[in-house]
Amino acid sequence: MAETTTFSGNRALQIEEPLIFELGSAGRVGVDVADAPPVDEDRLSGLRRKAPIGLPDLSEPQVVRHYTRLSQKNYGIDTGFYPLGSCTMKHNPRLSEKMARLPGLVDLHPFQPQKTVQGALEVIDTLAHWLKGLTGMPAVAMSPAAGAHGEWCGLMAIRAYHDDHGENHRRRVLVPESAHGTNPASAAMCGYSVDPVPATDRGRVDVAALKAKLGPDVACIMVTNPNTCGLFEDEILEIAEATHAAGAFFYCDGANYNAIVGRVKVADLGVDAMHINLHKTFSTPHGGGGPGAGPTVLSEKLAPYAPLPFVVHDGDGLRMVEHPESSGGAKPFGRVKGYHGQFGVFIRALAYILSMGSDGLRQASSDAVLNANYLLARLGGTLTPSFEGPCMHEALFDDRFLKDSGVTTLDFAKALIDEGFHPMTMYFPLVVHGALLMEPTETESKETLDGYVEVVKALAAKAAAGGAADEFKAAPKYTPRRRLDETQAARSPVLRWKPGSNA
């Protein structure tokens, strides 16, 4: 419970919000409905409900206020600076939102006859065309619903290729230690064993160690570039060459593509498959874990194994291929999703791409790198940068600057919340101690970055001065809830409200 000195438990207009089940009173309704028509019990085979359904009884204003207040407790990219590293929280242009709400697009149904949705198929096809053009890759699977889903899709295509070529003994995947957790998870879900590759003290893949691990049972490597330390893997060509020489594929985690889009064609780096998080690079919203989209570009070798469905051009215009028999001799490994992928996200990404143009995209990646280096330069003397030299799209610090202060990375991040900033990414990547990873993106102004820098510097000075550990550990002070017992919440989550369980 937040500490409070008010009678109501509220803090000004920040109102204590109960569960919806704790609101209302029996028999209250928000709508006028006619008496329920008689139900023919026979047709329900005895399944007719015997007890009340247990929904709360509320008026319309109660419902509206409840959900509006909950929505106001959200911190989002539309309310403030969100320097989360790795996850790339950048502005979602209102133009793209407007396009996604065009009645001709928003009112479509996935079961409509294809001849009535030629425009929608063209949206998918045009976006696919751009993704192939920007990456230099010949094919793209559009349907994966997120980055992790794209990883899994790419690995499934790799697996299908190996199985099809009598190489089904290739079941080991090499993953650098700095990888995002989704990489080993996707590999494991695909039936592979995961073999970690160490990092060098330059924050990059240890190429010698990687080469030593390559062998006839390796299906692929999964390398993120730029990597999760915000650094470009400058030995990537050598890595790709050694991988291919061992008969394995190079899966590139493209979550950080926003740092290089318009500057590098990933095909030139020897990539065989790479997902593109449209919700990171192409500025579409991340909404509470979805919907994002993770189209996965594929090389010539992997293209035939791409999942269904996909769009092709033929005599009558555009056609969605839904079945292997009509796929023109391809060998799709299956489907990864119902329907065609996240269509609303495709519209936004295409609107963003077309409004930026290829020169604008190149400018955006340059500005993202510039902004991150601005943070690195301005904070480098106060915090402790983990690696020497400039960074790409995100700046990585470790907790050496907090040494002997009694303040941890977690305490520091919580103190930032009281200052009105969403914290940076903490404790990731795992290759440095107590990581603080910051990604400003190209969409933040210099004023915003300067305001953030001043606060981070002031907090660091306070920690360094000593004697402030207790105060840091008490943060956040001004949020509706203070520190939560995250371990307890993860180990024994209370997911269901039961009548009478109001505490």
Ligand X SMILES: *Cc1c(COP(=O)(O)O)cnc(C)c1O
Contacting residues toward ligand X, per CB under 6 A: 86-87, 146-148, 180, 182, 224, 228, 253, 255, 277, 292, 294
Is 146 or 415 the residue whose CB approaches ligand X more closely?
146
Is 221 or 415 the residue whose CB approaches ligand X more closely?
221
Is 131 or 407 the residue whose CB approaches ligand X more closely?
131
Nearest partner of 186 among 155, 146, 209, judged by Cα: 155
**What is the distance in angstroms between the CA of the first residue and the CA of the last residue of the chain?**
11
Tokens 């949705």 -> residue: 117
Task: Tell the smallest beta-carbon distance from residue 428 to ligand X (Å).
Answer: 9
Is 183 or 408 the residue whose CB approaches ligand X more closely?
183
How far is 385 from 436, CA to CA, in rounded Å?
9
Task: Tell the smallest beta-carbon distance from residue 325 to ligand X (Å).
Answer: 32
What DSSP string runs through 305-362? Answer: GPPBPEEEEETTEEEEE-SGGGSTT-----BSSSTTS-HHHHHHHHHHHHHHHHHHHH
Supply 388's token pair: 């020497």
What DSSP string runs through 93-155? Answer: -HHHHHHHT-HHHHT--TTS-GGG-HHHHHHHHHHHHHHHHHHT-SEEE----SHHHHHHHHH
Is 249 or 472 the residue whose CB approaches ligand X more closely?
249
Tokens 């300067």 -> residue: 450
Task: Tell the smallest beta-carbon distance from residue 10 to ligand X (Å).
Answer: 35
Is 309 or 429 the residue whose CB approaches ligand X more closely?
429
Find the residue with minimal CB distance to ligand X.
147
Q: 266 - beta bridge partners?
A: none
Report phi then psi at 450, rounded to 5.
-65, -40
How far is 194 from 179, CA to CA, in rounded Å?
12
Is 84 or 219 the residue whose CB approaches ligand X more closely?
84
Is 120 or 157 the residue whose CB approaches ligand X more closely?
157
Task: Tell the smallest beta-carbon distance from residue 77 to ligand X (Å).
Answer: 15
What DSSP string runs through 172-198? Answer: EEEEETTS-THHHHHHHHTT-EEEEE-
Q: 314 - beta bridge partners?
A: 317
Q: Torsion angle of alpha carbons 407, 408, 413, 415, nearest 10°?
A: -20
Is 121 or 437 the residue whose CB approaches ligand X more closely?
437
Task: Tell the smallest beta-carbon distance from residue 190 to ligand X (Å).
Answer: 15
Nearest partner of 105 among 116, 93, 94, judged by Cα: 116
- Residues of 301-328 as b/e, b for ≥16 C-beta within 10 angstroms? ebbbbbbbbbbeeeeeebbbbeeeeebe
Task: Tell the smallest beta-carbon distance from residue 453 to ligand X (Å).
Answer: 24
DSSP state of 92: -
Task: Tell the smallest beta-carbon distance from residue 84 to ligand X (Å).
Answer: 10
Residues with Cβ within 8 Å of 112's Cβ and at least 6 positions away in sequence, in order, are: none
Supply 272's token pair: 């065989």
Is 292 or 423 the residue whose CB approaches ligand X more closely?
292
Task: Tell the smallest beta-carbon distance from residue 293 to ligand X (Å).
Answer: 8
Residue type at 176 in one-letter notation: P
Task: Tell the smallest beta-carbon distance from residue 224 to ligand X (Å).
Answer: 5
Task: Tell the smallest beta-carbon distance from residue 254 to ligand X (Å).
Answer: 8
Is 295 or 385 the residue whose CB approaches ligand X more closely?
295
Task: Tell the smallest beta-carbon distance from residue 161 to ligand X (Å).
Answer: 22
Is 134 or 278 the residue whose CB approaches ligand X more closely?
278
Task: Tell the smallest beta-carbon distance from residue 233 to ligand X (Å).
Answer: 13
Contact 372, 418 (CB under 8 A): no
How far is 275 from 153, CA to CA, in rounded Å?
9
How big, in percent rounded to 5, are the helix, strand and coil portions of the chain? 40, 10, 50
Task: Tell the smallest beta-carbon distance from residue 208 to ligand X (Å).
Answer: 24
Nearest partner of 355 among 282, 274, 428, judged by Cα: 282
Contact 28, 494 (CB under 8 A): no
Is 100 or 259 the residue whose CB approaches ligand X more closely?
259
SS3 call for 228: coil
DSSP state of 282: T
